[in-house]
Structure 1
Amino acid sequence: MNPTRPSTAALRIVIVAPDSLLADGTDTRAVTEAERSRSLRIGLLENGYNIVAVLPADVFLPDRLAQIAPDMIIVDAESQARDTLEHVVLATRDARRPIVLFTEDEDTSHVGAAIAAGVTAYVVAGMAPDRVKPVLEVALARFEHEEGLRRELADARTELSERKVIDRAKGLLIKAHGLTEDAAYARLRKTAMDKGLRLADVAQRLIDVSDLLA
Protein backbone atom coordinates (compact mmCIF):
# COMPACT_ATOMS: atom_id res chain seq x y z
CA MET A 1 0.00 0.00 0.00
CA ASN A 2 1.22 3.50 -0.82
CA PRO A 3 2.39 5.06 2.48
CA THR A 4 1.51 8.57 1.29
CA ARG A 5 -2.22 7.92 1.22
CA PRO A 6 -4.61 6.94 4.00
CA SER A 7 -5.68 3.35 4.45
CA THR A 8 -8.66 2.39 2.33
CA ALA A 9 -11.05 2.39 5.28
CA ALA A 10 -9.93 5.92 6.25
CA LEU A 11 -10.83 7.36 2.86
CA ARG A 12 -13.09 10.41 2.81
CA ILE A 13 -15.91 9.37 0.51
CA VAL A 14 -18.56 11.45 -1.22
CA ILE A 15 -21.60 9.63 -2.57
CA VAL A 16 -23.26 11.12 -5.62
CA ALA A 17 -26.84 9.95 -6.07
CA PRO A 18 -29.94 11.07 -7.99
CA ASP A 19 -32.53 12.98 -5.98
CA SER A 20 -34.86 9.98 -6.15
CA LEU A 21 -32.44 8.07 -3.94
CA LEU A 22 -32.26 10.83 -1.38
CA ALA A 23 -35.96 11.35 -0.81
CA ASP A 24 -38.70 9.06 0.48
CA GLY A 25 -40.46 7.65 -2.57
CA THR A 26 -44.14 6.76 -2.64
CA ASP A 27 -43.97 4.48 -5.66
CA THR A 28 -42.51 0.99 -5.70
CA ARG A 29 -39.55 1.87 -7.93
CA ALA A 30 -38.52 4.82 -5.76
CA VAL A 31 -38.79 2.73 -2.60
CA THR A 32 -36.67 -0.04 -4.13
CA GLU A 33 -33.98 2.38 -5.27
CA ALA A 34 -33.94 4.12 -1.89
CA GLU A 35 -33.55 0.79 -0.11
CA ARG A 36 -30.70 -0.22 -2.41
CA SER A 37 -29.03 3.10 -1.74
CA ARG A 38 -29.35 2.64 2.02
CA SER A 39 -27.85 -0.86 1.74
CA LEU A 40 -24.79 0.54 0.00
CA ARG A 41 -24.29 3.18 2.67
CA ILE A 42 -24.72 0.64 5.44
CA GLY A 43 -22.07 -1.51 3.77
CA LEU A 44 -19.68 1.45 3.68
CA LEU A 45 -20.28 2.33 7.31
CA GLU A 46 -19.97 -1.28 8.47
CA ASN A 47 -16.56 -1.41 6.83
CA GLY A 48 -15.46 1.77 8.62
CA TYR A 49 -15.54 4.16 5.67
CA ASN A 50 -15.97 7.89 6.25
CA ILE A 51 -18.95 9.21 4.25
CA VAL A 52 -18.41 12.97 4.34
CA ALA A 53 -21.33 13.96 2.09
CA VAL A 54 -24.16 12.69 -0.11
CA LEU A 55 -24.64 15.01 -3.08
CA PRO A 56 -27.00 15.21 -6.04
CA ALA A 57 -25.52 15.34 -9.55
CA ASP A 58 -26.43 18.93 -10.33
CA VAL A 59 -24.73 22.09 -11.59
CA PHE A 60 -23.30 22.77 -8.13
CA LEU A 61 -21.45 19.45 -7.94
CA PRO A 62 -18.04 20.73 -9.18
CA ASP A 63 -17.96 23.48 -6.54
CA ARG A 64 -19.08 21.14 -3.77
CA LEU A 65 -16.48 18.52 -4.66
CA ALA A 66 -13.78 21.20 -4.81
CA GLN A 67 -14.71 22.37 -1.31
CA ILE A 68 -14.88 18.88 0.19
CA ALA A 69 -11.90 17.41 -1.72
CA PRO A 70 -12.83 13.77 -1.09
CA ASP A 71 -10.44 10.87 -1.58
CA MET A 72 -12.99 8.85 -3.56
CA ILE A 73 -16.36 9.39 -5.23
CA ILE A 74 -19.03 6.71 -5.27
CA VAL A 75 -21.80 7.07 -7.81
CA ASP A 76 -24.99 5.41 -6.62
CA ALA A 77 -27.25 5.29 -9.65
CA GLU A 78 -29.96 3.25 -11.28
CA SER A 79 -31.77 4.29 -14.46
CA GLN A 80 -30.07 7.72 -14.43
CA ALA A 81 -26.56 6.28 -14.36
CA ARG A 82 -25.49 7.82 -17.68
CA ASP A 83 -26.52 11.39 -16.78
CA THR A 84 -25.09 11.10 -13.27
CA LEU A 85 -21.76 9.83 -14.56
CA GLU A 86 -21.49 12.69 -17.02
CA HIS A 87 -21.92 15.20 -14.18
CA VAL A 88 -19.33 13.47 -12.00
CA VAL A 89 -16.73 13.06 -14.75
CA LEU A 90 -17.04 16.73 -15.70
CA ALA A 91 -16.84 17.75 -12.06
CA THR A 92 -13.54 15.87 -11.58
CA ARG A 93 -11.93 16.78 -14.89
CA ASP A 94 -9.41 19.18 -13.31
CA ALA A 95 -8.93 17.27 -10.04
CA ARG A 96 -8.99 13.57 -10.81
CA ARG A 97 -10.22 11.18 -8.14
CA PRO A 98 -11.19 7.50 -8.18
CA ILE A 99 -14.83 7.10 -9.20
CA VAL A 100 -16.74 3.91 -8.41
CA LEU A 101 -20.20 3.27 -9.83
CA PHE A 102 -22.60 0.96 -8.00
CA THR A 103 -25.75 0.14 -9.93
CA GLU A 104 -28.27 -2.62 -10.52
CA ASP A 105 -29.10 -1.37 -13.99
CA GLU A 106 -28.29 -4.35 -16.22
CA ASP A 107 -27.93 -2.19 -19.32
CA THR A 108 -24.14 -2.16 -19.53
CA SER A 109 -23.90 -0.83 -23.08
CA HIS A 110 -22.13 2.31 -21.86
CA VAL A 111 -19.63 0.63 -19.52
CA GLY A 112 -16.76 1.07 -21.96
CA ALA A 113 -17.50 4.76 -22.44
CA ALA A 114 -17.76 5.24 -18.68
CA ILE A 115 -14.37 3.61 -18.04
CA ALA A 116 -12.80 5.62 -20.86
CA ALA A 117 -14.25 8.81 -19.40
CA GLY A 118 -12.60 8.24 -16.03
CA VAL A 119 -14.74 5.81 -14.04
CA THR A 120 -12.38 3.56 -12.08
CA ALA A 121 -14.78 0.70 -11.31
CA TYR A 122 -18.22 -0.20 -12.63
CA VAL A 123 -20.09 -2.59 -10.34
CA VAL A 124 -23.38 -4.06 -11.54
CA ALA A 125 -25.74 -5.72 -9.07
CA GLY A 126 -25.03 -6.93 -5.59
CA MET A 127 -24.69 -4.64 -2.59
CA ALA A 128 -23.58 -7.18 0.02
CA PRO A 129 -21.54 -5.38 2.69
CA ASP A 130 -18.67 -7.85 2.46
CA ARG A 131 -18.16 -6.94 -1.22
CA VAL A 132 -17.68 -3.23 -0.60
CA LYS A 133 -14.16 -3.21 0.85
CA PRO A 134 -12.43 -5.37 -1.79
CA VAL A 135 -14.15 -3.43 -4.58
CA LEU A 136 -12.92 -0.10 -3.22
CA GLU A 137 -9.42 -1.41 -2.56
CA VAL A 138 -9.09 -2.65 -6.13
CA ALA A 139 -10.55 0.60 -7.47
CA LEU A 140 -8.10 2.70 -5.50
CA ALA A 141 -5.13 0.55 -6.53
CA ARG A 142 -6.18 0.76 -10.17
CA PHE A 143 -6.61 4.53 -9.95
CA GLU A 144 -3.15 5.02 -8.43
CA HIS A 145 -1.61 2.78 -11.09
CA GLU A 146 -3.28 4.71 -13.89
CA GLU A 147 -2.28 8.04 -12.36
CA GLY A 148 1.30 6.83 -12.18
CA LEU A 149 1.20 5.97 -15.88
CA ARG A 150 -0.28 9.39 -16.64
CA ARG A 151 2.53 11.11 -14.76
CA GLU A 152 5.16 9.03 -16.52
CA LEU A 153 3.67 9.89 -19.90
CA ALA A 154 3.45 13.58 -19.01
CA ASP A 155 7.07 13.55 -17.81
CA ALA A 156 8.20 11.85 -21.02
CA ARG A 157 6.40 14.43 -23.14
CA THR A 158 7.90 17.26 -21.11
CA GLU A 159 11.38 15.79 -21.42
CA LEU A 160 11.00 15.47 -25.19
CA SER A 161 9.71 19.02 -25.50
CA GLU A 162 12.56 20.40 -23.37
CA ARG A 163 15.12 18.43 -25.35
CA LYS A 164 13.86 20.06 -28.54
CA VAL A 165 14.14 23.51 -26.96
CA ILE A 166 17.71 22.83 -25.79
CA ASP A 167 18.71 21.50 -29.21
CA ARG A 168 17.33 24.62 -30.88
CA ALA A 169 19.17 26.88 -28.44
CA LYS A 170 22.40 24.97 -29.08
CA GLY A 171 21.87 25.48 -32.79
CA LEU A 172 21.56 29.24 -32.27
CA LEU A 173 24.81 29.36 -30.30
CA ILE A 174 26.61 27.24 -32.87
CA LYS A 175 25.46 29.54 -35.66
CA ALA A 176 26.15 32.79 -33.82
CA HIS A 177 29.50 31.96 -32.22
CA GLY A 178 30.89 29.10 -34.26
CA LEU A 179 30.84 26.76 -31.28
CA THR A 180 30.86 23.00 -31.36
CA GLU A 181 27.74 21.22 -30.11
CA ASP A 182 29.49 20.24 -26.88
CA ALA A 183 30.71 23.79 -26.31
CA ALA A 184 27.24 25.21 -26.97
CA TYR A 185 25.74 22.80 -24.47
CA ALA A 186 28.43 23.64 -21.91
CA ARG A 187 27.66 27.36 -22.26
CA LEU A 188 23.95 26.78 -21.74
CA ARG A 189 24.64 24.58 -18.73
CA LYS A 190 27.04 27.10 -17.14
CA THR A 191 24.53 29.93 -17.61
CA ALA A 192 21.82 27.82 -16.00
CA MET A 193 24.04 27.02 -13.02
CA ASP A 194 25.20 30.64 -12.60
CA LYS A 195 21.63 31.97 -12.65
CA GLY A 196 20.07 29.11 -10.70
CA LEU A 197 17.73 28.25 -13.55
CA ARG A 198 16.73 25.06 -15.30
CA LEU A 199 18.64 24.32 -18.48
CA ALA A 200 15.41 24.26 -20.51
CA ASP A 201 14.42 27.68 -19.13
CA VAL A 202 17.75 29.21 -20.15
CA ALA A 203 17.39 27.67 -23.59
CA GLN A 204 13.88 29.05 -23.97
CA ARG A 205 15.02 32.54 -22.95
CA LEU A 206 17.77 32.42 -25.56
CA ILE A 207 15.24 31.40 -28.20
CA ASP A 208 12.84 34.17 -27.14
CA VAL A 209 15.59 36.80 -27.43
CA SER A 210 16.63 35.44 -30.80
CA ASP A 211 13.06 35.61 -32.06
CA LEU A 212 12.75 39.22 -30.91
CA LEU A 213 15.92 40.22 -32.75
CA ALA A 214 15.09 38.31 -35.90
Structure 2
Amino acid sequence: MIGPAPGARDSDDGTSPKSDLTVAVIDLSRARAAIVEEGLRQAGIERVVIIPDTADLLRRLAEANPDVVVIDLESPSRDVLEQLFQVSRLVERPVAMFVDQSDAAMMQAAVDAGISAYVVDGLKSERVKSIIDVAVLRFNAFARLQRELSEAKSELAARKVVERAKGLIMKAKGLSEEEAYNLLRRKAMNEKRKLVEIAQALITSAELLG
Protein backbone atom coordinates (compact mmCIF):
# COMPACT_ATOMS: atom_id res chain seq x y z
CA MET A 1 0.00 0.00 0.00
CA ILE A 2 1.25 3.45 -0.90
CA GLY A 3 1.60 5.93 1.98
CA PRO A 4 -0.22 9.26 2.38
CA ALA A 5 -0.14 11.56 -0.61
CA PRO A 6 2.21 14.52 -0.17
CA GLY A 7 0.18 17.03 -2.15
CA ALA A 8 -3.41 15.90 -2.73
CA ARG A 9 -4.98 17.85 0.06
CA ASP A 10 -7.28 20.80 0.49
CA SER A 11 -6.05 24.38 0.29
CA ASP A 12 -6.02 26.47 3.44
CA ASP A 13 -9.66 27.45 2.96
CA GLY A 14 -10.69 23.88 2.19
CA THR A 15 -12.26 24.75 -1.15
CA SER A 16 -9.75 23.73 -3.79
CA PRO A 17 -6.83 21.31 -4.10
CA LYS A 18 -3.23 22.34 -4.45
CA SER A 19 -2.00 22.94 -7.99
CA ASP A 20 1.56 21.60 -7.56
CA LEU A 21 0.49 18.00 -7.97
CA THR A 22 2.27 14.95 -9.31
CA VAL A 23 -0.17 13.05 -11.51
CA ALA A 24 0.29 9.45 -12.65
CA VAL A 25 -1.53 8.62 -15.87
CA ILE A 26 -2.26 4.95 -16.52
CA ASP A 27 -3.12 4.44 -20.16
CA LEU A 28 -2.49 1.56 -22.54
CA SER A 29 -2.67 4.00 -25.48
CA ARG A 30 0.17 6.50 -25.74
CA ALA A 31 -1.94 8.72 -27.99
CA ARG A 32 -4.76 8.94 -25.46
CA ALA A 33 -2.28 9.49 -22.63
CA ALA A 34 -0.91 12.44 -24.58
CA ILE A 35 -4.35 14.05 -24.51
CA VAL A 36 -4.46 13.79 -20.73
CA GLU A 37 -0.88 14.99 -20.40
CA GLU A 38 -1.61 17.97 -22.65
CA GLY A 39 -4.61 18.96 -20.55
CA LEU A 40 -2.60 18.71 -17.35
CA ARG A 41 0.32 20.73 -18.66
CA GLN A 42 -2.01 23.39 -20.05
CA ALA A 43 -3.44 23.64 -16.54
CA GLY A 44 0.03 24.19 -15.08
CA ILE A 45 0.70 20.68 -13.80
CA GLU A 46 4.23 19.81 -14.88
CA ARG A 47 4.88 16.63 -12.92
CA VAL A 48 3.12 14.03 -15.06
CA VAL A 49 4.20 10.37 -15.00
CA ILE A 50 2.90 8.18 -17.84
CA ILE A 51 2.47 4.46 -17.05
CA PRO A 52 1.77 2.73 -20.38
CA ASP A 53 0.78 -0.71 -19.10
CA THR A 54 -0.41 -2.47 -15.95
CA ALA A 55 2.60 -4.70 -15.32
CA ASP A 56 3.79 -4.48 -11.71
CA LEU A 57 1.52 -1.49 -11.33
CA LEU A 58 1.55 -1.02 -7.57
CA ARG A 59 5.35 -0.95 -7.45
CA ARG A 60 5.50 1.60 -10.26
CA LEU A 61 2.92 3.79 -8.56
CA ALA A 62 4.86 3.57 -5.31
CA GLU A 63 7.99 4.72 -7.14
CA ALA A 64 6.14 7.62 -8.78
CA ASN A 65 4.43 8.51 -5.48
CA PRO A 66 1.73 10.57 -7.22
CA ASP A 67 -0.79 12.85 -5.55
CA VAL A 68 -3.48 11.84 -8.05
CA VAL A 69 -3.95 8.83 -10.31
CA VAL A 70 -5.67 9.13 -13.70
CA ILE A 71 -6.82 5.90 -15.33
CA ASP A 72 -7.72 6.28 -19.00
CA LEU A 73 -9.31 3.27 -20.72
CA GLU A 74 -10.77 2.78 -24.18
CA SER A 75 -12.24 -0.73 -24.29
CA PRO A 76 -10.84 -2.47 -21.20
CA SER A 77 -11.35 -6.15 -20.53
CA ARG A 78 -12.99 -7.22 -17.29
CA ASP A 79 -9.65 -8.56 -16.06
CA VAL A 80 -7.95 -5.20 -16.62
CA LEU A 81 -10.82 -3.36 -14.95
CA GLU A 82 -10.70 -5.61 -11.90
CA GLN A 83 -6.95 -5.11 -11.63
CA LEU A 84 -7.33 -1.35 -11.81
CA PHE A 85 -10.20 -1.32 -9.34
CA GLN A 86 -8.02 -3.33 -6.95
CA VAL A 87 -5.23 -0.78 -7.39
CA SER A 88 -7.70 2.02 -6.62
CA ARG A 89 -8.59 0.33 -3.34
CA LEU A 90 -4.94 0.16 -2.30
CA VAL A 91 -3.27 3.38 -3.42
CA GLU A 92 -5.07 5.74 -0.99
CA ARG A 93 -5.05 8.51 -3.59
CA PRO A 94 -7.71 10.41 -5.52
CA VAL A 95 -8.38 8.37 -8.65
CA ALA A 96 -10.07 9.74 -11.78
CA MET A 97 -11.13 7.16 -14.35
CA PHE A 98 -12.05 7.89 -17.97
CA VAL A 99 -13.81 5.16 -19.95
CA ASP A 100 -15.32 5.16 -23.43
CA GLN A 101 -18.14 2.79 -22.53
CA SER A 102 -19.72 1.71 -19.28
CA ASP A 103 -22.66 -0.11 -17.77
CA ALA A 104 -24.39 -0.16 -14.40
CA ALA A 105 -22.26 -3.03 -13.07
CA MET A 106 -19.02 -1.31 -14.07
CA MET A 107 -20.11 1.97 -12.49
CA GLN A 108 -21.04 0.19 -9.26
CA ALA A 109 -17.68 -1.57 -9.23
CA ALA A 110 -15.96 1.79 -9.69
CA VAL A 111 -17.86 3.26 -6.74
CA ASP A 112 -17.04 0.22 -4.58
CA ALA A 113 -13.37 0.57 -5.54
CA GLY A 114 -13.29 4.17 -4.33
CA ILE A 115 -12.93 5.87 -7.71
CA SER A 116 -13.26 9.58 -6.96
CA ALA A 117 -14.32 10.67 -10.45
CA TYR A 118 -15.76 8.33 -13.09
CA VAL A 119 -16.22 9.89 -16.53
CA VAL A 120 -17.84 8.11 -19.46
CA ASP A 121 -17.00 9.27 -23.00
CA GLY A 122 -15.70 12.59 -21.76
CA LEU A 123 -11.97 12.70 -22.44
CA LYS A 124 -11.11 16.19 -23.63
CA SER A 125 -7.85 17.89 -22.74
CA GLU A 126 -9.58 21.04 -21.48
CA ARG A 127 -11.70 19.02 -19.04
CA VAL A 128 -8.94 16.98 -17.47
CA LYS A 129 -7.82 19.49 -14.80
CA SER A 130 -11.35 20.31 -13.63
CA ILE A 131 -12.17 16.60 -13.31
CA ILE A 132 -8.99 16.03 -11.31
CA ASP A 133 -9.94 18.93 -9.04
CA VAL A 134 -13.31 17.27 -8.41
CA ALA A 135 -11.62 13.92 -7.75
CA VAL A 136 -9.27 15.47 -5.17
CA LEU A 137 -12.09 17.31 -3.39
CA ARG A 138 -14.28 14.21 -3.28
CA PHE A 139 -11.39 12.10 -2.04
CA ASN A 140 -10.57 14.58 0.72
CA ALA A 141 -14.22 14.91 1.75
CA PHE A 142 -14.57 11.14 1.98
CA ALA A 143 -11.27 10.84 3.88
CA ARG A 144 -12.50 13.41 6.42
CA LEU A 145 -15.74 11.50 6.89
CA GLN A 146 -13.82 8.25 7.38
CA ARG A 147 -11.48 9.92 9.87
CA GLU A 148 -14.38 11.44 11.82
CA LEU A 149 -16.17 8.07 11.87
CA SER A 150 -13.03 6.34 13.11
CA GLU A 151 -12.52 8.95 15.81
CA ALA A 152 -16.16 8.64 16.91
CA LYS A 153 -15.85 4.86 17.15
CA SER A 154 -12.63 5.16 19.15
CA GLU A 155 -14.21 7.68 21.51
CA LEU A 156 -17.23 5.45 22.06
CA ALA A 157 -15.02 2.44 22.75
CA ALA A 158 -12.95 4.49 25.21
CA ARG A 159 -16.08 5.63 27.03
CA LYS A 160 -17.24 2.03 27.41
CA VAL A 161 -13.87 1.06 28.90
CA VAL A 162 -13.98 3.96 31.38
CA GLU A 163 -17.57 3.16 32.34
CA ARG A 164 -16.67 -0.46 33.00
CA ALA A 165 -13.65 0.54 35.09
CA LYS A 166 -15.78 2.97 37.11
CA GLY A 167 -18.21 0.17 37.80
CA LEU A 168 -15.44 -2.05 39.12
CA ILE A 169 -14.16 0.70 41.43
CA MET A 170 -17.65 1.54 42.68
CA LYS A 171 -18.29 -2.11 43.53
CA ALA A 172 -14.88 -2.74 45.11
CA LYS A 173 -14.62 0.47 47.14
CA GLY A 174 -18.23 1.45 47.67
CA LEU A 175 -17.74 4.80 45.94
CA SER A 176 -20.14 6.94 43.95
CA GLU A 177 -19.79 7.21 40.17
CA GLU A 178 -18.22 10.66 40.46
CA GLU A 179 -15.77 9.50 43.13
CA ALA A 180 -14.77 6.50 41.03
CA TYR A 181 -14.21 8.72 38.00
CA ASN A 182 -12.12 11.21 40.01
CA LEU A 183 -10.01 8.34 41.34
CA LEU A 184 -9.33 7.13 37.81
CA ARG A 185 -8.53 10.65 36.64
CA ARG A 186 -6.08 11.29 39.51
CA LYS A 187 -4.36 8.01 38.77
CA ALA A 188 -4.01 8.93 35.10
CA MET A 189 -2.65 12.39 35.96
CA ASN A 190 -0.17 11.03 38.46
CA GLU A 191 1.16 8.48 35.99
CA LYS A 192 0.89 10.88 33.02
CA ARG A 193 -1.14 8.38 31.08
CA LYS A 194 -4.45 8.52 29.27
CA LEU A 195 -7.57 7.87 31.31
CA VAL A 196 -8.59 5.01 29.03
CA GLU A 197 -5.18 3.35 29.52
CA ILE A 198 -5.62 3.35 33.29
CA ALA A 199 -9.18 2.08 32.91
CA GLN A 200 -8.09 -0.74 30.59
CA ALA A 201 -5.26 -1.73 32.95
CA LEU A 202 -7.77 -1.95 35.81
CA ILE A 203 -10.13 -4.10 33.76
CA THR A 204 -7.29 -6.40 32.70
CA SER A 205 -6.16 -6.82 36.32
CA ALA A 206 -9.70 -7.61 37.43
CA GLU A 207 -10.03 -10.22 34.69
CA LEU A 208 -6.73 -11.85 35.67
CA LEU A 209 -7.75 -11.99 39.29
CA GLY A 210 -11.10 -13.47 38.41
Q: TM-score range by the shorter chain?
A: 0.7 to 0.9
Q: Is this contact kept in 1: 2:89–2:113, CA < 8 A?
A: no
CA distance in 2, matches of 1:85, 1:40: 19
Matched, 1:180 2:189: no
Mapping of residues 54-93 of structure 1, within 5 Å: 54=51, 56-58=53-55, 60-80=56-76, 82-93=78-89
Q: Is this contact kept in 1: 2:17–2:137, CA < 8 A?
A: no
**1:190 alignment partner in structure 2:** 186
- From 14, 33, 37, the equivalent of 2:24 is 14
Q: Which runs of 5+ in 2 are unaligned?
A: 1-9
CA distance in 2, matches of 1:176, 1:67: 58
**2:121 alignment partner in structure 1:** 125
Identity of aligned residues (%): 37
Q: Which runs of 5+ in 1 are unaligned?
A: 22-33
Coordinate RMSD, CA, aligned = 2.4
Greater CA deviation, 49-58 or 125-134? 49-58
Determine helix, strand or coil for the equivalent of 2:175. coil
- From 134, 145, 149, the equivalent of 1:149 is 145
Determine helix, strand or coil for the equivalent of 1:119. coil
Count of equivalent residues: 199
Q: How far does residue 112 in structure 1 lie from its aligned partner after superposition? A: 2.0
Determine helix, strand or coil for the equivalent of 1:80. coil
Q: How far does residue 122 in structure 1 lie from its aligned partner after superposition? A: 0.5
Q: Is this contact kept in 2: 1:77–1:84, CA < 8 A?
A: no
Q: Label 1:202 to 1:86 Cα distance change in 2 as closer, same or farther (>3 A).
A: farther
CA distance in 2, matches of 1:172, 1:38: 67
